[in-house]
Structure 1
Amino acid sequence: MPRILCLHGHGTSGSIFKTQTASFRSKLPSYTFDFPSAPFPSKPSPGIESIFPDIPTYTWYPEPTPSALRAAHAWVRQYARENGPFDAVMCFSQGCSLIGSMALYHARDRHNGIIDVDVEPLPFHSAIFICGGVPLWALEDLGLPVPERAHALSKTTGTLLTSTAGKITLFARDVSQIQRGVGLWDGNGAHLLHDPDPAARPARSDVFGLDYTSFPEWARITIPTVHVYGAKDPRWPAGIQLAEFCADRSELDHGGGHDIPRSTWVAEGIAGLVVGVVARSWEGESERTRGHGVVDGAREG
């Protein structure tokens, strides 16, 4: 039975993430999902208090610093040691920042000989990223070049995300503000900094300010990954940036915003990708095991 560790976004909680993912998880009855809450209390993210009133909310790192981020990585490892093993990790928004950066730091440390990947592998074999990217300040700490243009684009998309999500509170206070047939994420239009048409995918030399052709070879996430994002999400560019780091990826654009739609086609689509990524991770693990002289769980004699 596949086991998946589930890491929520900033200003929410494990129980909230469990509710947010209920639609597609219902398509995976044989899977086990573990929903811990982050260790640090925080204010709820914009709009969350209107949807989930009176539920405590948390964050994975209380300040955007490399030391706080590495401490969060250590927390995940310890949780996995005590509650795993896990076949995959599934994350949303800040949870993606946590796991995406964890995988990149692991790759850098392995390349530099700081860790032995056979002794200290990642505590999961695949990852499902939903509406999230990797913090640019973490990339800089890793020694990767991040032009000022990338920072400017990230700041603009972050501001638009916050202002749009904050409308949930306005709508909750005054339902007359809701326009029939117009969704929360429909009003941004020309304010979005991206074209979600697959044919308009940016070249790797300029993915919203990041030049992947200039990055060192080690700067890759090699475990199988799934990337779920929404065409109307202001932070769509960050999701594409994270996807470009991943060597073995599947992607789904659900067409919505910074959320997880509950429609049948989205639920079935995500569920299918989860099944596929876990299967790919098992295949990869089997190949690595054979490479170490293990056959059907026993050492070759």
Structure 2
Amino acid sequence: MRTLMLHGHATSAFIFKAQTIPFRSKLDKSFTFDFIDGPYTCPPFRGLSTVVPTAYGWIKNNDIDSLREAVQWLTRYIEVNGPYDCICCFSKASAVVMAMLMDETLVDIELRERIMPRSIIFINGSIEYPFLEELGMPISAKARQIKYKTEQLVKQRTDGVAKLARTLVKPGVGGGLWDDTSKLMHNPKRLPPVFDCFGLDFTFLPQDALLSIPSVHIVGAKDPIWPSGVQLAYLCDPAKRQFYDHQGGHDLPRTPQVGADIAAIFKELSLKMKC
């Protein structure tokens, strides 16, 4: 099973490799991983500056032109280096991947078929509304407000913690970064209705418009961006999607249990592709 690994915003392939060691170490050599840096350099989060003086991002701005550029870059990469059985993407990279796989205005049908993976894994997924607007979906004021507030919460936490790097690269270290859940805008024990998923009405999209490959949505109960990850999941066929809660924040806890659980997810996807 060959997987393309895409890091989150303002980090790097190096960081994503460290974050994923706990589950990758539990998989045999039939599982291979291709880690790449995003196309744009950007300043790292304050707490990461001692580890990665140069970080990478996927989009320059949160607009359709920037998203289109990112999609074109990633499409070219997969055409040259693919195909891939799976794409595993963290946070902001999820928005680019979903736009690449769903939006016919960004990638034509013939090209999409050539670059389409056989499965996809979103970790702490994020979605960009310009992509949804290209699909014709109305974006309510409520949805925009929730997205802004959740993204600000993540930025405040990561910018304000000097030891952020330890929470990303050392097993079992959380540093209390995500323990304060008082301002979260979601209940991790309850999925919202499809007609009002944090301000978005997904009944607008017909069933055949949803992403139809097997998808796994790894979310964290303490992650402020949990609402965006669920919105992302609602773009996928409910019969072929599954959720896994790692119980952390906007990170990937490096605990033995989480590592074993995610390794099991990869094994299950591999078996599905052999059927």
Structure 1 segment 124-135 matched on structure 2, within 5 A? 124-135=117-128
| Structure label with greater radius of gyration | 1
Contact 2:79 2:115 in 1 (8 A): no
Give the CA deviation at 1:53: 4.1
1:268 is matched with 260
Which TM-score applies when normalising by structure 2? 0.89
RMSD: 2.3
1:60 is matched with 58
2:248 is matched with 256
Letter in 2 for 1:279: L
Contact 1:105 1:142 in 2 (8 A): yes
Distance 1:171 1:74, change over 3 A: closer
Percent identity, please. Answer: 38
Structure 1 segment 189-204 matched on structure 2, within 5 A? 189-197=181-189, 200-204=190-194
Cα deviation, 1:227-259, whole Å, max 9, x if unaligned, reads 111000000111111111111112110110000
Does residue 39 of the first structure (1) align with residue 39 of the second (2)?
Answer: yes
Q: How many residues are paired up?
A: 265
2:2 is matched with 3
Distance 1:49 1:282, change over 3 A: farther
Give the CA deviation at 1:192: 0.5
Give the CA deviation at 1:218: 4.1
Letter in 1 for 2:128: P
Higher relative contact order (CA 8 A, sep 6+): 2
Give the CA deviation at 1:109: 7.5
Letter in 2 for 1:254: H
Question: SS of the residue aligned with 2:218?
Answer: strand
Cα deviation, 1:125-183, whole Å, max 9, x if unaligned, reads 111100012211221122111111100000010111111112322789xxxxxxxx971
**CA distance, structure 2, for counterparts of residue 126 and residue 47 of structure 1:** 33
Question: SS of the residue aligned with 2:260?
Answer: helix
Structure 2: gaps of 5 or more residues: 166-173
Cα deviation, 1:197-234, whole Å, max 9, x if unaligned, reads 1xx22111111111111223443111111111100000
Distance 1:59 1:20, change over 3 A: same
Structure 1: gaps of 5 or more residues: 173-180, 284-301
Structure 1 segment 29-178 matched on structure 2, within 5 A? 29-30=28-29, 31-50=31-50, 52-54=51-53, 56-106=54-104, 114-116=108-110, 120-169=113-162
2:168 is matched with none
Which TM-score applies when normalising by structure 1? 0.81
**CA distance, structure 2, for counterparts of residue 223 and residue 154 of structure 1:** 26
